[in-house]
Amino acid sequence: MGRPVCRMGPMIQGIPTADVLAFLAFLAMWVGYAVLAEHRTVRGRSLSAVMMRQRRAWMRAMCERDNRITDASLVAALMRSVSFFASASILVLGGLVALMGSGERAFAVYQEMPFASPGNLEAFEMKVLMMAVVFVYAFFQFTWSLRQFNYCCIIMGAAPLIGADDLTKESFATQAARLQSLAANSFNGGLRAYYFALAMILWFVNVWVFLVATGFVVGVLYRREFRSKSLSTLADVLGAR
């Protein structure tokens, strides 16, 4: 007997049901982790939450400096990192679009590979298309992060001078740190898409290997965000102040 085929609509006819269910499970794990990370961040129990407090300390310290060239250079370095990943996303998208344009020829080459999973052209094209969608999402996240860092540069240029009152400085530091955190969160969202895209590569091997890889990615992200040595070190730095 052949593999069961999904009949959910004309757009996905011919695609194995197992592939559709695996992708839905993949999305559930991705979205579920994002919701968990946001919840833990709001409660102040994540690397992002600790970094937000560090950013506020940075912005508050900047208000006491007359020369702020170093601060501008640090933001520029952050923007270069974001710009690199945005450019990389475009290159990856170009490769995936070229792969989709090859159609049957690309599928024939894929079928000759030893790790290729049994399937048809529709399933292969769907997997490539879903990977392209992930990198489109990553590109939008990175470019939005870049724009928000541009906004950070603008408000840093309008930061209170040394002689300003403490209330004005405190208010500025809070708002500037919040904007930087929003930019960093968008950057993290783009990086997260890269991690999950790496798991999607194994979708071309087997749906079970794909799901295991997705679970592994969630585990790695969880450990780094909530159980890493970096988190404990940064928390200790805050506590030492």
Does position 4 have pLDDT exceeding 50, yes or no?
Answer: no
Q: Who has greater pLDDT, 241 or 94?
A: 94
Model confidence band, residue 181 (pLDDT cutoffs 50, 70, 90)? very high
User: What's residue 10's pLDDT?
Assistant: 44
User: In whole angstroms, how far apart are CA 206 and each of 87, 110, 224?
Assistant: 30, 13, 27
List all residues 6 or more positions away from 240 whose beta carbon is below 8 Å from its beta carbon.
Answer: none
Mean pLDDT of all residues in 110-130: 78
User: What's residue 176's pLDDT?
Assistant: 94
User: In whole angstroms, how far apart are CA 5 and each of 13, 17, 92, 110?
Assistant: 7, 5, 30, 21
User: What's residue 116's pLDDT?
Assistant: 67
Residue whose tokens read 């879903």: 130
Mean pLDDT of all residues in 131-135: 95
Model confidence band, residue 13 (pLDDT cutoffs 50, 70, 90)? low
3 state DSSP class of 84: helix
Question: For residue 96, how many other CB atoms are within 10 A of its CB?
Answer: 19
User: What's residue 16's pLDDT?
Assistant: 78
Does position 6 have pLDDT exceeding 80, yes or no?
Answer: no
Q: Who has greater pLDDT, 2 or 89?
A: 89
Domain limits, the chain: 17-240
User: What's residue 149's pLDDT?
Assistant: 95
Computed over every residue of the chain, the mean pLDDT equals 87
pLDDT tens-digit profile of 199-218?
999 998 888 999 999 999 99
List all residues 6 or more positions away from 72 whose beta carbon is below 8 Å from its beta carbon.
Answer: 153, 156
pTM: 0.87
With 0-12 / 13-18 / 19 or more C-beta atoms within 10 angstroms meaning exposed / middle / buried, residue 205 is: middle
Q: Which of 26, 43, 49, 33 is nearest to 185 (CA)?
A: 49
Q: Who has greater pLDDT, 45 or 161?
A: 161
User: What's residue 86's pLDDT?
Assistant: 96
Q: Which of 231, 239, 224 is nearest to 57 (CA)?
A: 239
Does position 5 have pLDDT exceeding 70, yes or no?
Answer: no
Q: Name the strand (E) or helix (H) holding 169.
A: helix 166-201
pLDDT tens-digit profile of 55-107?
999 999 999 998 899 999 999 999 999 999 999 999 999 999 888 888 778 77
User: What is the full DSSP assignment across 189-223?
Assistant: HHHHHHHHHHHHHGGGT-HHHHHHHHHHHHHHHHH
- Which residues, listed in sequence order, are joined to residue 5 by a DSSP beta bridge? 16
Model confidence band, residue 240 (pLDDT cutoffs 50, 70, 90)? low
Q: Which of 189, 155, 142 is nearest to 33 (CA)?
A: 189
